Amino acid sequence: MNTRYGTSVKILRGTKLFLDWKCAISPRLFLKRQSPGSFGTQECALGSKGSIRRVSCLFRVVESERMSSPIPIVRKGLTLPPFSPTSLTAALSLSSFKERPFTPSPLPSPMPSPPSSPPPLSSPSGLLQATKDALARAVSKRGSKNSVLAIDEDMRDMCYFYTQLGTDERSEFLIYMATSLSIDHKAVQDVINNRPDCIPGNADVDAHIMRWEDRLRQTLQPPHHWVASQVSRLSGGVKFLVDMRQDLLSTLYTMTSDPTSSALLKTLDGTLRELLSLWFTVGLLNVQRITWESSCSMLQKVSEYEAVHPVRNWADLKRRVGPYRRCFIFTHSCMPDEPLVVLHIFLTDEICKSMKKILQNSKTPSFDETGMTKNEEDSSLVNTAIFYSITSTQKGLQGIELGNYLIKRVVRELQAEFPHMMQFSSLSPIPGFVKWLNGMMARAQRGDLHIFTKTEVNALLIHLEVNSESEVYDRLKKLFTTNGWIDESDLVSSLESPLMRLCAYYLYSEKRRGYALDSVANFHLKNGAVMWRINWMADRSPRGLSNSCGIMVNYRYFLEDCENNSRNYLETLKVLSSDEIATLAKTAADIMKLSAETSPISPASTSSPPPIITITPDSKM
């Protein structure tokens, strides 16, 4: 009996069978009966007259003809091409199959692949030990006369076993790897003690010193650097290292009790980050535009990775890659099917103040498989590009800057397509504002500072039907948690002025190590953008209300000034903003009445507000 993994099966109302395009079948198919709405994995018998082959099928029973989300199929850590509407070539009736041989097309070689003779593993600890043993075998062959293929085989075994580990076992293995393959400090000291004397002008001595420096450099390089380099040579090895670094960062985040292990893990993280930074330089990345004609697997990943404004359904996804929209991604040759960064753009004739216009625009495509052409757009209506979502998809590439390069590349693409395009701006979320605001209200309750004027406090006492300022803060905290305030129009109006003022202060004045505390603000300011306009009720989604009370901000990109703005921000830590934002931030600071003895607003804040550098919002329209 041969087993073939990778067939996708979908049952519609119990009458139709949809098969993935990669497979061909014989006449008989047997499935366990499933109720509508259920899904699972079922081994199916395909064949006839004694020639039966079995296929492990992932299937879902649905109640309507509309396709649900694509279903990825995973076996031993390998994600095979998912089932989706665009990958189908036939809808076959269960009652009438034509005889044809079972000849599935070949799938890419998985990485990591299972070892040729895996050891019996009866427990997670046995699997963890097998992973350690495979790593030890590979390291023991370093510098020996063993063939490269032998080392690669051990590395493949190590990678395969690692993908089978649970979260706790992975953390334990990473600690083992960081500890056992750390720098040999005694060897380093021995090399230092054998440093040759320096005699200027003596060529032989100079050559001897250079050889000594080379030995010292090799000794200072931890063995796990060699391991990572060897893994990168395997098929799928770079992706494995990216995922491993994601596990490593998670382990570091949760580790607090062992400073020694934490320091060793940080060294391992530094090694992986250094190598990944070299492999993922902008010159090795490819810009790709995503359209409705792109592969279903890529469309699925774009929708799943969207972190700023989640994709609701296939129609929503089609709208986001349709007319007056652009979606670009960065890919890498070692991970061609993985979008590294996803950038969504809205093409319009003005700088948007709200997500409503972007996500619910009247130019909405129908839900069908008809391709969308450029002729559906009127280019004369387009002079502005709004970057409304940018997402880094790979947590293992954290700290490796890719998004700013994608924006710069995309701007060139858009200018080539629309030569008259003059305005470039983001419509960005403010993910940490409500968390910061809750901390400010707690301080105000203690009497450390004021965040509302007396007039605003009196108005809130009436709207919230409470008797004291302290109760106002308690009530607001609950309302911001549940988003219950959004349906009370009078309360929304009363909160607009103070929240806009406080948001301006948060964006403009709050700092972390001298840079903007808000991560999105810091990203755009480093790219050379201008903090241009704050927008009230720009994102009324549950996420937008929970993170920033619905407030969003436009960061303008004046192309001729971006380089100077970026350099100015990085070197002098000065925030470039519009007059409106700077004035609001200054007003908030005056109301707070911070004295010299008062502690900073937040642990990450600077002790004094940054210098005000402003630009009039309409001066460069």
**pLDDT per position as a tens digit, 313-322:** 888 899 999 9
Assess whether pLDDT exceeds 90 at residue 290: yes
pLDDT of 48 reads: 36
Reading the block at residue 160, the tokens are 């395969």
Bridge partners of residue 62, in order along the sequence: 12
Q: What is the mean pLDDT of residues 588-594?
A: 83
Active site residues: 428, 524
Question: For 77, phi and psi rounded to 5 degrees?
Answer: 80, 0
| Per-residue model confidence (pLDDT) at position 611 | 42
What was the pLDDT predicted at 359? 84
Q: How many helices (H) and strands (E) does the chain have?
A: 20, 18
**287 within 8 A of 406, measured Cβ to Cβ:** yes
Higher pLDDT, 275 or 608: 275
The DSSP H or E segment spanning 256 is none
12 vs 382, residue with greater confidence: 382
CB 620, CB 558: distance < 8 Å = yes
**Is 60 exceeded by the pLDDT of residue 428?**
yes
Report which secondary-structure segment, H or E, holds 568. Answer: helix 562-572
**Taking residues 499-520, what's their average pLDDT?**
96
Place of tokens 């709208």: 319
Average pLDDT rounded to a whole number, residues 436-440? 96
* Rounded Cα–Cα distance for residues 553 and 544 (Å): 12
**Residue 582, exposed/middle/buried by CB under 10 A (0-12, 13-18, 19+)?**
buried
Give the model's confidence band at 452: pLDDT under 50 very low, under 70 low, under 90 confident, else very high: very high
pLDDT band at 202 (very low <50, low <70, confident <90, very high): low
Verdict on whether the full-model pTM lies above 0.85: no
In which region does residue 399 sit, left (phi positive, over 0), alpha (psi from -120 to 50) or beta (all else)? left
What is the rounded average pLDDT for all residues in the chain? 78
Predicted local distance difference test score (pLDDT) of residue 65:
34
Contacts of 146 (CB under 8 A, 6+ apart): none
Per DSSP, helices labelled H in 38-193 are 124-140, 148-164, 167-180, 185-193
Pairing of strands 88-93, 16-20: antiparallel
Residue range 590-603: mean pLDDT, rounded: 54
CB-CB neighbours of 565 under 10 Å: 21
Residue identified by tokens 């000794």 is 219
Q: Has residue 112 got a pLDDT over 70?
A: no
Using alpha carbons, select from 228, 224, 249, 227 the residue that is nearest to residue 239.
Answer: 228
The answer for residues whose C-beta is within 8 angstroms of residue 395's C-beta and 6 or more apart is 246, 249
Longest C-alpha distance within the chain, in Å?
Answer: 91
Would you state the structure tokens that stand for residue 615, as one six-digit string?
A: 């630009």
Burial (CB count within 10 angstroms: exposed 0-12, middle 13-18, buried 19+), residue 441: buried
Q: Is the pLDDT of residue 91 over 80?
A: no
- Give the chain's domains with CATH numbers: 3-93 (no CATH), 124-183+221-279 (1.20.140.90), 283-426 (3.40.630.150), 433-615 (3.40.630.150)
Across 44-58, 230-244, 473-487, least confident range:
44-58
